[in-house]
Amino acid sequence: MDAFRVRGGVPLQGTIEVGGAKNAALPILAAALLIPGRTFLRRVPHLRDVETMRRVLEGLGARGGYTDHCFEVDATDLAGHEAPWDLVRTMRASIYVLGPLLARFGRARVALPGGCAWGPRPVDLHIKGMEALGAQVSLEHGDILAVAPPGGLRGAHLAFDVSSVGATGNVMMAACLAKGETVIENAAREPDIVALADFLNAAGARIEGQGTTTVRIRGVASLHSTEFENIPDRIELGTYLAAAAITGGEVTLEKARPDHCGIVLDRLRDMGAQVLVEADCIHLRASERLRAIDVTTQVYPGFPTDLQAQFMALLSVAEGSGLVTETIYPDRFTHVPELRRLGADIQLKNNVAAVRGVAALSGAHVTSTDIRASSALVLAALAAKGESWIHRVYHIDRGYERIEVRLAGIGADIVRESVSGP
């Protein structure tokens, strides 16, 4: 099993090109199932989760693969409408095939995704959304079985009581081929949803309002082959900016969408980093010790839960104390005991972590628990005195493309090692 060995204390310096967004690529690849033709998606990151989605699509009879960062899917002839448990259990985003399969075949069977390391992650809104479009949904042997009414899905007016990226995307995909108009109220506004809608429109869908809380989808008879460029990954970007900030470094992130990460840049400035934006480049310099701030996760355009752990790593070495409040996933704190191993001073009560900055962290053995928690451990290790080992980095490979190579490229002392044991 792979681990990272990190020797901390080197200020990072250099330039990184931001990769394509994982959380936009996954639903777009699932949406390719709606198209009886070919999809060319550029700027797809090479990640374990993308490979899992490729295997899910392949299991359904679509052909697909990468050339460089371009992903081609041919879903002209699909073989089935059942996404099996062995793949779905490894990646919650597999639930994204539910809407496309239901719309295209009139039925779908998708294994119920499991909970995550940081607590339960329900799919009730996905199910309610499909039911609103007229589908009968039941749970059978651990699978979600959805069946469209005779004549196919029907447009509907639905309002989510919680803003959900996944449920918004799933209903949007299903509604593309439904009869009549669907209106989603309290729709998620994340850039990933906008990218998905833009992709579907490029394939002939009629979606309006993406990026606002009211999305309107007028059903069309079919979608057609298309090409699309994925958006840059604002979470990867935030992670690399945090890496520069925690080491007192200076980096430039190229091919970014600064408009997708305004609040993250503001929080970094609040902590004392100098952040400059020029067209699609973001430049960060951290010449002094960071100052503590309070961070509260919110739906977009609020502070992303997917950067909560990384900012907790920053607060661990900042001057003063700050509160980290998690409102999206109240249990998402598996990184706290691991950061403590590195010397962080964190007190956790319910969904609020009180972090008191320490003068220095010290290297230790720590274990990854999920994608973003692992990247927070990498950041903390980059700042720690001495050597750290981060184990089970397969979690990080799910969401970051060759993170150790890219960090080493801007001066980090980090290497991947194969270690025995868990």
132 binds ligand UD1, rule: CB under 6 A: no
Rounded least distance, CB 133 to ligand UD1, Å: 15
Pairing of strands 413-418, 13-17: unpaired
- By CB under 6 A, which span of 40-48, 161-169, 242-250, 375-383 interacts with ligand UD1? 161-169
In this structure, what is the dihedral angle of CA atoms 218, 302, 120, 130, given to the nearest 10 degrees? -10
- CB closest to ligand UD1, residue no: 166
Residues 186-215 that bind ligand UD1 (CB under 6 A): 188, 192
159 binds ligand UD1, rule: CB under 6 A: no
- By CB under 6 A, which span of 158-166, 286-294, 316-324, 403-411 interacts with ligand UD1? 158-166
In whole angstroms, give the CA distance from residue 386 to residue 364.
Answer: 8
Two structure tokens written together for 101: 């399969």
In whole angstroms, give the CA distance from residue 338 to residue 405.
Answer: 23
Give the one residue of 16, 135, 165, 339 binding ligand UD1; rule: CB under 6 A.
Answer: 165
In whole angstroms, give the CA distance from residue 264 to residue 235.
Answer: 10
328 binds ligand UD1, rule: CB under 6 A: yes
AA identity, residue 273: A
Rounded least distance, CB 30 to ligand UD1, Å: 10
Residue 239 CB partners (closer than 8 Å, separation 6+): 307, 310, 372, 375, 379, 400
Cα–chain center distance at 268:
20
Residue 281 falls in the annotated catalytic set: no
Give the one residue of 57, 60, 83, 93 binding ligand UD1; rule: CB under 6 A.
Answer: 93
With beta carbons less than 8 A apart as the criterion, state whether 63 and 46 touch: no
Beta strands in 235-310 (DSSP E): 250-254, 274-278, 281-285, 295-296
Rounded least distance, CB 4 to ligand UD1, Å: 21
Give the one residue of 19, 23, 45, 172 binding ligand UD1; rule: CB under 6 A.
Answer: 23
Catalytic residue among 70, 116, 176, 281: 116
126 binds ligand UD1, rule: CB under 6 A: yes
Pairing of strands 250-254, 281-285: antiparallel
> Considering beta carbons, is residue 197 or 317 the nearer one to ligand UD1?
197
Residues in touch with ligand UD1 (CB under 6 A): 23, 26, 92-93, 121-126, 162, 164-167, 188, 192, 305-306, 328-329
Residues acting as catalytic residues:
116
